[in-house]
Amino acid sequence: MLTTTLNTTKAAEYSARGILDLRASHVDSSDSYIKGGYGKFGYSDGSQLSVAQAGLDLSAHWDNGFSGKLVLNGWLDQEDSALGFTEAFFSYKGLPSESGLRWSGRAGIMYPSISLENTATAWATPYTLNASTLNTWVGEEIRTTGIEAKLERLGKFSNSQHNLSLSGMLFVANDPAGALLAWHGWTSSSRQTLWGETRPFPEPLQPALTDQTRRSNPFKEIDHRPGFHTNLDWSIRRHALFRVGYYDNLAKPYLIDGGDYAWRTRFAHLGGKWRINKQWQLLWQYMNGSTLMQSPDRQDAVKMDFANGFNMLTHSFKKKHRVSLRAEAFENIDRDNTPLDDNNERGKGLTFAYQYRLNKNWFIGGEYQWLNSQRPQRALHGLEADTNEQLFQLAARYFFSAI
C-alpha cells in the first residue's frame, strides 16, 4: 500500500488512499443476512461477481497536531448495493513530554478501538477477504459519534520497549446496537454499515414486538443519554500488542422512537497480536457481553448474553505470499420468555486464505470459509436448525494512493 502527500500550504498536508476489491464467489447457504435472510455470509446461495469494497480514505494534517479524516465505502453486488461514508472525525496528537507522556484525542463519527483485524485502508482486513464474525458485527452495529481522549506512555523515552495507552470515550447515536445480533445472529463478510443505512431483520416479528420497525438503524440516538467505551493497549515494540476494553451504550431499553427500540448493549473485549518472527504472526480476539430490549412497560422482550472469539495464524514469505488460517466460535444465549422468538445460537468456523502480491498495488488471492451454526429459530421458517455453510472466493484487490 502506498500513501502520497502534497503540501498545498506551509501548514497543511493532504493524502488519499483507496481500495478496490473485485470478487468472484460461490456460496452454499441460504438467503444472505444482508437482504433479511438467515444466511451467514454477505452473499446468498449461488455464484456471483461483485465489487466487495470500493473504499476511499481522505485525510488532512496540520502542523499544529490536528488532522481530519473522512472514509467513504461502497459495495456493488446482487444483495444490496450501497455507497456512503463510514467514518468522519477530527483528531489531535500532541508532542510527548520529556518523560514520554503524550495526549491525543478524536471527535466525530468513528469506530471505537476494538478490532485488531481490520487494519488496512477503509477498515479492510489485510489477512483474509472476509472479517471474522466478531469484527463483522462491529462493522455492522458498532459505530460511535463522540469524543475520545487518550494518554500514552512512550517507552523509547526511558529506553524501554514497552508502550502503554489508556483511552476513554463518551458517545451517542448507537442505541439500537444489538438488535441485528439478536435477530440474525453472528455473520461473516467484508460489509460495513454506512452512516444512515438501515439493515433488514430476517423474519416477521412476533406480536409482542409489533411496534418494532422491520429494519434497524444502528446509529440512532433514542434516549439522549451518552454511552462510554474505555480501552487499554500495551505494546512491546516490533513484537506484540495486547488490548482490553469495555463498551456500554447505557441505553434505556424500554424507549422507542420511530419504530426503533433502544437496546442496552455492553461487552468486554480482549485481544492480542504476537509477532513470532519475521514470517509468522498470531492474532486473537475475544468478546463477552449482553443485550436487552424491553416493552414500554419495562417487561423483557429480548434478553440475551453473547460471546465470540477467534484465533488467526498468518504466515508471510518471499515478500509476496501470505497464508492465513482462522478458527472461531460464537454463542448467543436467550434469557427471555418471548414466544416464537428463540435467539439461541451456537456456532464455529474455519477460514483459509491465500494472497499473492503482484506489484506495489495489486494483490490476488483466494479464500475458503466454513461456518457451522445451530439456531432453533430457523426451523420455524422451513430451514435446518443445524446448518453447514461454505463460501469460496477469488479476489483481485487494488490498493492505491492519489492526490
Report CA-CA distances (Å) from 189 to 25, 57, 269, 311: 12, 20, 20, 17
Contact in structure between 34 and 42 (CB atoms under 8 Å): yes
Q: Record the cell numbers describing residue 396, joined without a space.
A: 483481485
Per-residue pLDDT, 202: 85
**Which residues sit opposite 101 in a β-bridge?**
153
Which amino acid would we find at residue 322? Answer: R
Total-model pTM:
0.95
Per-residue pLDDT, 204: 66
Helical H segments across 226-344, by residue range? none
Q: Give 60-85 as a 3 state SS string.
A: EEECCCEEEEEEEEEEECCCCCEEEE
Contact in structure between 155 and 237 (CB atoms under 8 Å): yes
Per-residue pLDDT, 306: 99
Q: pLDDT per residue over 106-150, tens digit each?
A: 999 999 999 999 999 999 999 999 999 999 999 999 999 999 999
What residues does each domain of the chain span? 5-402
Per-residue pLDDT, 206: 66
Q: CA-based angle 351:306:368, to the nearest 5?
A: 10
Which DSSP helix (H) or strand (E) runs through 272?
strand 264-275
**CA-CA distance, 1 to 319, in Å (whole number)?**
13
Per-residue pLDDT, 402: 82
Q: pLDDT per residue over 241-273, tens digit each?
A: 999 999 999 999 999 999 999 999 999 999 999
Q: Does domain 5-402 have CATH number 2.40.160.10?
A: yes
Name the stretches of the chain with pLDDT < 70: 1-10, 204-210, 403
Per-residue pLDDT, 9: 46
Query: 3-class DSSP state for residue 114?
Result: coil
CB neighbour list of residue 279: distance below 8 Å, 6 or more residues apart: 315, 316, 317
